Amino acid sequence: MATKNPLGTALIDDLPPEEVPSGNSGYAPPPVSYAPPPRRNFIQAFLQQHIIVLYLMSFVGFVIACSAMSKVNGIAANRNGNGPKPGPDGRGKGGGGGKQSHWLDRCQYMGEALYGDPVYEYNGHHYQIVGGNWAQITWRQAEMDAWGRCYGGVPGYLATVDDAAENAFLLGKMLAHQGFASGNAGWIGANDMTNEGTFEWLDGFKGGSVFYRDGQPVAGAYSNFAEGEPDENGEEDCVEMYATGQWNDDSCYKRRQFFFVEYDA
C-alpha cells in the first residue's frame, strides 16, 4: 500500500513497480506507432494551383501559331501569283523590287507614310517629288527612301515613265517645287545594272521590263535620253531627269537634288 504524503497523494517511491514480462530485466516502453502524412502528387498539386495560367499560356500559343500560319500562307500566295491583283488600268501592285515583299506587308499595316511631301495624282497613279536644291541624294538612297514610303497601303518606288505626257507631268512638278533651283535634276527608276546598255525599269507595274537596247528604244517603249546619251561607259548605270525633261545615265552614287516616287494606288 502506497504511503500518503500530507496532500493525500501517493509518493512515487511507494508506487508498485510496473509489471514486466518474465525473462526481461530491462524496461521497454510500449511501442509508439507513427504514420507519415500522405504524400501529395507534385504534378497534380501544380496543375490544381496553376490551371488558369496554363490555359492562358495555351491560348497565347494558339494565337501566335495562327498568326504565323497566316503570314506564311500570305507569302506563299504572293509567290504563287495569288496576291493583290492589278488595278483597273492593268498596272500591278508592285514595290520593293517589283515583288510582293516586306515593304508591302509594312505598308498594308501602316496605310500611309508620306513624310510630309505632297501627293499628286496622274492617270490612276500617285506620285511624290522629294528633295530640294539643298539635298544631296544618291540613286541608291532614293531607291531605299521610295520603298520606305506608303500610300493607299502600297509601297513607293522610283518612278517608271511610260510616255511623254507622264514625263511632262513629273517635270512640271519638279520645276514647280519650292526647293527647285536652276540646274537641279531628279532620279527616276531606269537603270542598266543587269546588262550594260540594256535599260529597264526597276520596280512597279513595269518592273524588269526593258525599254532601251542596242542604242535605241525597244519597239513600242518610251525613252527620252538626251542627245549622245546614254553613253554607256560602264560606270553610269542609273538614270536622272534633267531640268529640260531629258534623261541622262550617270553613276548611281553621284548626288542629285530630287527623286520621283510612284505608287501603284
Tell me, yes or no, whether 144 lies in a domain.
Answer: yes
Q: Is 213 exposed, middle or buried (0-12, 13-18, 19+ CB in 10 A)?
A: middle
Q: Who's near 151: CB < 8 A, 6+ residues apart?
A: 107, 112, 114, 119, 126, 128, 263, 265
Q: What is the pLDDT of residues 205-262, one digit of tens each?
A: 888 999 999 999 999 899 999 999 998 777 899 999 999 999 999 999 999 999 999 9
pLDDT band at 53 (very low <50, low <70, confident <90, very high): confident
158 inside domain: yes
pLDDT of 83 reads: 45
Please check whether residue 65 lies inside any domain of the structure. no
* Per-residue confidence (pLDDT) for residue 265, from 0 to 100: 80
For residues 182-186, give the mean pLDDT.
97
Q: What residues are paired with 154 via a beta bridge?
A: 151
CATH number for the domain spanning 233: value is 3.10.100.10
Would you say residue 66 lies in a domain?
Answer: no
Q: Is residue 170 in some structural domain? A: yes
Domains held by the chain: number: 1
Q: Could you tell me the residue range of the domain that residue 155 belongs to?
A: 127-263
Residues 6+ apart with CB under 8 A from 143: 157, 158, 202
pLDDT for 99-118, tens place per residue?
457 889 999 999 999 999 99
Q: What percent of the chain is modeled with pLDDT above 90?
A: 54
Whether 146 maps to a domain, the answer reads yes
Residue 84 belongs to some domain of the structure: no
Whether residue 150 has pLDDT greater than 50: yes
> What pLDDT does 35 receive?
60
Lowest mean pLDDT among 20-29, 109-118, 124-133: 20-29
45: left (phi over 0), alpha (psi -120 to 50) or beta: alpha
How many Å apart are CA 46 and CA 65, to the nearest integer? 26
Q: Tell me the mean pLDDT in the region 177-205.
A: 95
Residue 98 pLDDT more than 60? Answer: no
Asked whether residue 50 is assigned to any structural domain, the reply reads no
